[in-house]
Structure 1
Amino acid sequence: MFRFANPEYLYLLFILPVLVVGFILLNIQKLKVVKKLGDLKLIKRLMPELSLKRSYLKFWLIFAVIVFGVIVAARPQFGTKIEKVDKKGIELVIAIDVSNSMLARDVNPDRLSKAKQILTRIIDERKNDKVAIVVFAGEAYVQLPMTTDIQSAKIFLENIDPSLVPVQGTVIGSAINIAMNSFTSDKEVDKSIILITDGEDHEDNGVQLAEQAAAAGIQINVVGVGTPEGSPIPVSPTSNEMKKDSEGNIVVTKLNEDMCKQIAQAGKGMYVRADNSNNALKSLQAELDKLQKKNVEGSAYSEYDEKFQFFAWCMLILLLVEICIFDKKNRIFRNIRLFR
C-alpha cells in the first residue's frame, strides 16, 4: 500500500504549469529584445560564450528539483516495517468471554461492547506491557499471541464478536489454561490475566485452574459484566428478538458474581464489576501497577515506511548539477561542446 503522509503539499504541483508558462513568455520577450539588436546569427557570433540551451537545461533541472521537493514534503510512504522496541512493563493476557450471553443488554450498550470499551482503555494505559488476547465461549482460542504491539492488540480487540468461537457455552477453566500457556518463559517479569466474563461457567473448574495459575506466579483479576438481575439474550447483536428455550420461554442470563469472586480470590487477584463509572477501571489499573515491571524487548509494526529519502537524494543531485552549469561557456572548457 502506498500513500502520502502529508498529501496537502501536493497542491504545490499546480504552480508548475505557471512556472513553465512564465519561462516560455520570458524567453519570448528576450528573443524580441535580441531581434531589435540585429540578425540572430550575427549576434550569436558576437557572443560565442552565450549558450541558450544551458539556460533551458538549468530551468528544467530547477523544475525537477521543485517536483522532488514537493514529493519529499508530502512524505511518500509504502508498505510496512517492523521496529524493535524496548519497554518496561509486565506480561498481560486478556481473556474475554464471547459467548452469546455477552450480547445481553443489562449494561449499556451490551455486555460485550462494554467489555471491549473497558479493555481498550486498559490497553491504552498499559503501553509498556506485553499483551496477548484469548477469546472463549464453548472453546478457548488465542486470538493474539504475546506482543508489545499495542496498536495491533486494539485492532484485534475491536474485531472480537461471538462468531469467532462457533461452539457456544462458557469454559472459564479452558480460557485460564490457554492464557497461562500464552506467557513467555521469562520468570523475572510479573504476569497477570484479566478475565472478563459474566461468570456462567459450564465446566465448573475455573476456581481450580485459577489456583494453579496463582501457584505458577500468575495473578488473575476478574471483571464481571452484567447484573445479578439478568437480561434476555438477543438472537443477534442488532436484533430485538430474544432467545427462547425449547418450551418457548425467554432465556435470561445473570451475572454470576459469586463465581467471579471465587476465581479472583483463588487467582490472588481482585474482582470488579463493570459499570458506567471509572471506579472499576481505576481499581484494576492500580492493582496491575503493583506488579513488578521489567525491560521487555519486542517488535512493533509501523503501518507505513517512509520512502522520501530516494526523492531527497535525487533533488540534491539535480541541485548540485544545476549549480555546476553556468549560463555562459567556461573559457577553459569552451572547446567541449556538450551544448551546441
Structure 2
Amino acid sequence: MIWEDGFYLWFLLLIPLLYGGYWWHKRQQGERRSEYFDNRLVQQLRKNFWKTGDKVRLISFLAATLFFIVALAGPKIGTEVREVQRKGVNLMVALDLSTSMNAEDVRPSRLEKAKFEINRLINRLQGDRIGLLIFTDQAFLQVPFTTDYSALRLFIDIANSDQMPSGGTNFSAAMRTAQDSFNSLDEQEQGNAADVLLFVGDGENHGPGYDAQLEELVESNVVTFSIGIGTPNGAPIPVYDENGTLASYERDNSGNTITTRLESDAMRNIANAGGGEYYEIRSGSDNIEPFFSRLDELERGEFSSQEFADYKNQYQVLLGIGLFFLMITLFFPETKPRIFEK
C-alpha cells in the first residue's frame, strides 16, 4: 500500500489530543459540579443521562476522524489497468547555431532567446512528438522524434555555437536533414499526424540556394513555419574569453567589425512557400504565442496506445466508513432508550 499524500497522516496525532481534551473537559465539569451539588442531587438531575451512549458518541467521533484523515491521505491498494493514447503532431525544430546567433540585439542574445522560446513550446506540448536538429553550414540531427521532453530540454540547454565545426549558415543542409527525419517515420509511426518544421534563425544564409529542398518538403506535406530573431539594424557578434569576459567582436578579413542583421525577407519567404507563417522576435519581450494556436489547429494523429498498471486509490471506502461513524455521533441517543430500562 502506498499513499497519495502521506503528509496528512500527521493529523492522526489529533486523535489522542481530542481524547485528552474531552477527558480534561469532563473532569473540570465534574469538579465544578461537585462544588455546588452533592452526588445524590446530581443523580436526580441527570436521571435520564446514559453514560454508555456518551461513550459510544465519543468513540464514534474519534473513529470518524481517524477514517477521514486516512481517506484524505489517499491510500492506494491493489492495481488498476489504464490505457493512455498519445496524440499529436510530428514537430521538427531546426535551430541555427551560427556565430551570428550570439549577437545581443535581442537580450540576452539571439540564441538564448531562441532556446527560451523553444522550451516554452515544449512546456505546451501534450503528446506531440518533437525532434531537434542544429545547423550552421552543416546540419546534424541532435534529437530524433521523441516524446521524452525532459531529455530534449537537456540538449537544448547545452546547444551553443562552439559545438559546431564552423560558423556559417546553410539552409539547404538543414532542410535536407529535416526531410530525412520525416522520411524515416514509417506509416505506423506517422499516425496520420501533421508534419511540421519550425525554422529558427536570423535569416542569414551563406550556402547555396534552398528552393529545391523547400519544394521537396512541400511535396511531402511538411508545413514549414519560421521564426526570425534579431533586428534590422543588427549588432556586432561578441567574442568572450574563457572567463566569460567580453574580449572583442568578430571581424572580417579587413579587420572591420562584422554587423549581423535580421534577414526577415528570407525567413518570411521560407514560411510563405512552406505553407506556414512567419514570426519575428526583435526584443526580449517578444514571444511565439501565435504559433501555439496554429499548432493546435493542425491534424493530430494517434501515435500509440499504451496500457500500464497503477495503484488504485481506495479513499472512497474509508470515506464511507467515516461518514457512518459520523452519523452515529450525531444521532445516537443521549438518554437511555426504554428498552434498556429495567
Report the TM-score, using the length of structure 1 for normalisation. Answer: 0.59
Q: Deviations over 1:287-339 (max 9, x none)?
A: 667x6535647689xxx9995x43x5234325536767979999999xxxxxx
Whether contact under 8 Å (2:131, 2:143) holds in the other structure is yes
SS in 2 for 1:105: coil
CA distance in structure 1 between the partners assigned to 2:143 and 2:267 by the alignment: 21
The alignment status of 1:213 with 2:217, answered yes or no, reads yes
Whether contact under 8 Å (1:141, 1:178) holds in the other structure is no
The CA deviation at 1:218 is: 0.6
Specify whether residues 97 and 131 from structure 1 end up closer, same or farther in structure 2 by C-alpha distance, changes over 3 A only.
Answer: farther
Equivalent residues in 2 for 1:48-127, closer than 5 Å: 56=55, 59-70=58-69, 72=71, 84=84, 90-98=89-97, 101-119=100-118
The CA deviation at 1:270 is: 4.3
Specify whether residues 16 and 217 from structure 1 end up closer, same or farther in structure 2 by C-alpha distance, changes over 3 A only.
Answer: same
Q: Deviations over 1:170-223 (max 9, x none)?
A: 662465246524694234x43221111234568758554433222211121221
SS in 2 for 1:161: helix
CA distance in structure 2 between the partners assigned to 1:266 and 1:222 by the alignment: 11
**Equivalent position amino acid for 1:274 in 2:** I
Counterpart for residue 130 of structure 1: 128
Specify whether residues 65 and 92 from structure 1 end up closer, same or farther in structure 2 by C-alpha distance, changes over 3 A only.
Answer: same
Counterpart for residue 145 of structure 1: 146
Counterpart for residue 156 of structure 2: 160
Report the TM-score, using the length of structure 2 for normalisation. Answer: 0.59
CA distance in structure 2 between the partners assigned to 1:12 and 1:281 by the alignment: 47
CA distance in structure 2 between the partners assigned to 1:59 and 1:264 by the alignment: 73
The share of aligned pairs that are identical, in percent, is 21
Per residue, is there more strand in 1 or in 2? Answer: 2
The CA deviation at 1:115 is: 2.0
Counterpart for residue 281 of structure 2: 274
**Equivalent position amino acid for 1:239 in 2:** G
CA distance in structure 1 between the partners assigned to 2:109 and 2:82 by the alignment: 36
Counterpart for residue 174 of structure 2: 172
Residue ranges of structure 2 left out of the alignment (5+ in a row): none
Counterpart for residue 336 of structure 1: none
Residue ranges of structure 1 left out of the alignment (5+ in a row): 334-340
The CA deviation at 1:94 is: 2.9
CA distance in structure 1 between the partners assigned to 2:195 and 2:13 by the alignment: 57
Counterpart for residue 318 of structure 2: 314
CA distance in structure 1 between the partners assigned to 2:204 and 2:270 by the alignment: 12
Whether contact under 8 Å (1:176, 1:209) holds in the other structure is no
Q: How many residues align?
A: 306
Q: Deviations over 1:87-128 (max 9, x none)?
A: 7x754333333566533312123213322454466667x767
**Equivalent position amino acid for 1:134 in 2:** L
Greater mean alpha carbon deviation, residues 263-272 or residues 130-139 = 263-272
Partner residue of 1:226 out of 220, 226, 230: 230
Partner residue of 2:196 out of 192, 197, 207: 192
The alignment status of 1:239 with 2:244, answered yes or no, reads yes
SS in 2 for 1:219: strand
Specify whether residues 234 and 305 from structure 1 end up closer, same or farther in structure 2 by C-alpha distance, changes over 3 A only.
Answer: farther
SS in 2 for 1:222: strand
Q: Deviations over 1:54-77 (max 9, x none)?
A: 85565344224324435655x659
The alignment status of 1:254 with 2:260, answered yes or no, reads yes
Whether contact under 8 Å (2:229, 2:262) holds in the other structure is no
Specify whether residues 245 and 103 from structure 1 end up closer, same or farther in structure 2 by C-alpha distance, changes over 3 A only.
Answer: closer
The alignment status of 1:24 with 2:5, answered yes or no, reads no
The alignment status of 1:293 with 2:292, answered yes or no, reads no
CA distance in structure 2 between the partners assigned to 1:2 and 1:98 by the alignment: 47
**Equivalent position amino acid for 2:218 in 1:** A
Specify whether residues 90 and 276 from structure 1 end up closer, same or farther in structure 2 by C-alpha distance, changes over 3 A only.
Answer: same
CA distance in structure 2 between the partners assigned to 1:16 and 1:216 by the alignment: 68
Specify whether residues 220 and 315 from structure 1 end up closer, same or farther in structure 2 by C-alpha distance, changes over 3 A only.
Answer: closer
